[in-house]
């Protein structure tokens, strides 16, 4: 098949995973056979599900983006590991997912839900820019499911599949839907308990927002005989009051009195976790950018540190005392800067 899967969901090719997901939810609701009785809506609904099953799976999406053809053979392969946010929830069961699965026949999660290991979990952690610069040790607390010793067993209602078939009768006839098993909440196992867990994790220097740390085996316990899922710690680095970050480089902007730029100066400025001296040479123009080598963040891949860039902006006084005004007028006279004595051609910035 060579359909325009993005077009079916009504999103652009550069749509993010969450944009794809929300577009899918919106359009799937509109065309769901229980809701939309127009001719052709069921076929459309199937196309929508197919498009989403490809675009929500990072590997299949990549193949589709590269070759323009959706790889149907990969359907249901599931277990492609971590990608996007499917199957993740910061609490147990992911209530919204469950409601969604019930309504839409498990389309959002059915492909990867039942593998032989427990669910992966997500933990969101915010750190400061200073902590990202040096690396930091953090204690985290979260809940995961552990098997009750001896009593964890396969769910008999769904036979460990985590899903049950439900027949829904509507005016158009009967539809078979697959929903999350109400007894085991989709886990295929009963006899597991929520346990609070404390861990100390080491966050490496140079980490960026969106980076994840995988902690193997700290997700939910697996079904009988299966391994536990993993815990993914999603890092967010807080915005700093005055430092801006771009990769391993740091940017800061200073406003300095124009006299300091004209005459030059030496000033102490903050850098990440310390101070440095910036020498502003005389005759510095406004908007000039200085580079202070190796005062950025450590490069995660590769060696050394990024740089710090300092932009200086000239501050002009808005009000002058009569003495100041006199001096500036004298200065203007000395330099022959008055408008009437300058050629306007000299003032125009040429490209
Ligand atoms: Zn069950």
Q: How confident is the model over 247-297, as pLDDT tens digits? A: 999 999 999 999 999 999 999 999 998 999 999 999 999 999 999 999 999
With residue 98 as reference, give the H or E element that holds it. Answer: helix 95-103
- The DSSP call for residue 305 is B
Q: How far is the CA of 346 from the centre of ligand 1 (A)?
A: 82
Q: How far is the CA of 173 from the centre of ligand 1 (A)?
A: 27
Distance of CA 96 to the CA centre of its chain: 20
Residue finishing a domain among 57, 75, 93: 75
Q: Is residue 262 part of a domain?
A: yes
Q: Is residue 200 part of a domain?
A: no
Residue finishing a domain among 43, 75, 107: 75
Distance, CA of 350 to CA of 333 (rounded, Å): 26
Task: State the average pLDDT over residues 317-321.
Answer: 97
Tell me the two tokens of residue 336.
Answer: 């022959």
Q: Is residue 65 part of a domain?
A: yes
Segment 150-179, tens digit of pLDDT: 677 888 888 888 889 888 888 878 888 888
Return contacts of 80-86, CB within 8 angstroms, 24+ apart. Answer: 80/112, 82/120, 82/212, 82/214, 82/230, 82/232, 83/57, 83/58, 83/59, 84/17, 84/21, 84/56, 84/57, 84/58, 85/17, 85/18, 85/21, 85/122, 86/56, 86/112
Query: Into how many domains does the chain fold?
Result: 2
Q: How far is the CA of 230 from the centre of ligand 1 (A)?
A: 22
Q: Is residue 324 part of a domain?
A: yes
Decide: 328 and 320 in contact? Cβ < 8 Å. Answer: yes
Segment 58-89, tens digit of pLDDT: 878 877 777 676 654 333 333 333 333 333 33
Distance, CA of 93 to CA of 113 (rounded, Å): 12
Distance, CA of 231 to CA of 69 (rounded, Å): 33
User: How confident is the model at residue 111, as a pLDDT?
Assistant: 34
Residue ranges making up the domain that contains 54: 1-75
Residue that is written with structure tokens 């999103």 in the block: 11
Q: How far is the CA of 72 from the centre of ligand 1 (A)?
A: 29
Note the pTM of the prediction, 2 decimals: 0.58
User: How confident is the model at residue 43, as a pLDDT?
Assistant: 83
Residue that is written with structure tokens 């929830």 in the block: 89
Segment 297-314, tens digit of pLDDT: 998 777 899 999 999 999
Q: How far is the CA of 334 from the centre of ligand 1 (A)?
A: 90
């Amino acid at each position: 098949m060579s359909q325009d899967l993005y077009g079916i969901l009504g999103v652009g090719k550069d749509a993010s995973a969450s944009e794809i997901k929300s577009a899918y939810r919106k359009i799937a609701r509109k065309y769901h056979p229980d809701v939309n009785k127009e001719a052709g809506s069921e076929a459309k609904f199937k196309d929508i599900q197919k498009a989403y099953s490809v675009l929500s799976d990072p590997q299949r999406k990549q193949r589709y983006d590269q070759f323009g053809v959706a790889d149907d053979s990969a359907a249901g392969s599931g277990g492609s590991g971590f990608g996007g946010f499917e199957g993740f929830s910061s609490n147990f069961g992911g209530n919204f997912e469950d409601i969604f699965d019930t309504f839409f026949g498990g389309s959002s999660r059915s492909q990867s839900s039942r593998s032989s290991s427990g669910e992966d979990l997500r933990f969101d952690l915010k750190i400061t820019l200073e902590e990202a610069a040096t690396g930091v040790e953090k204690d985290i607390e979260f809940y995961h499911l552990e098997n009750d010793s001896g009593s964890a067993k396969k769910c008999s209602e769904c036979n460990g599949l985590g899903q049950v078939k439900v027949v829904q009768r509507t005016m158009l006839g009967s539809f078979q839907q697959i929903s999350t098993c109400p007894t085991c909440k989709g886990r295929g196992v009963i006899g597991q308990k929520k346990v609070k867990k404390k861990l100390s994790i080491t966050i490496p220097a140079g980490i960026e927002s969106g980076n994840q740390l995988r902690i193997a085996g700290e997700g939910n316990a697996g079904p009988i005989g299966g391994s536990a899922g993993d815990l993914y710690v999603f890092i967010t680095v807080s915005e700093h009051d005055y430092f801006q970050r771009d990769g391993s480089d740091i940017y800061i902007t200073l406003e300095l009195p124009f006299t300091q730029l004209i005459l030059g100066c030496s000033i102490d400025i903050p850098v990440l976790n310390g101070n440095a001296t910036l020498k502003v040479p005389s005759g510095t123009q406004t908007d000039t950018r200085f580079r202070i080598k190796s005062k950025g963040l450590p490069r995660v891949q590769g060696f050394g540190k990024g740089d710090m860039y300092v932009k200086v902006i000239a501050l002009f006084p808005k009000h002058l005392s009569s003495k100041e005004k006199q001096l500036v007028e004298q200065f203007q006279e000395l330099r022959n800067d008055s408008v009437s004595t300058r050629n306007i051609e000299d003032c125009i910035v040429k490209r």
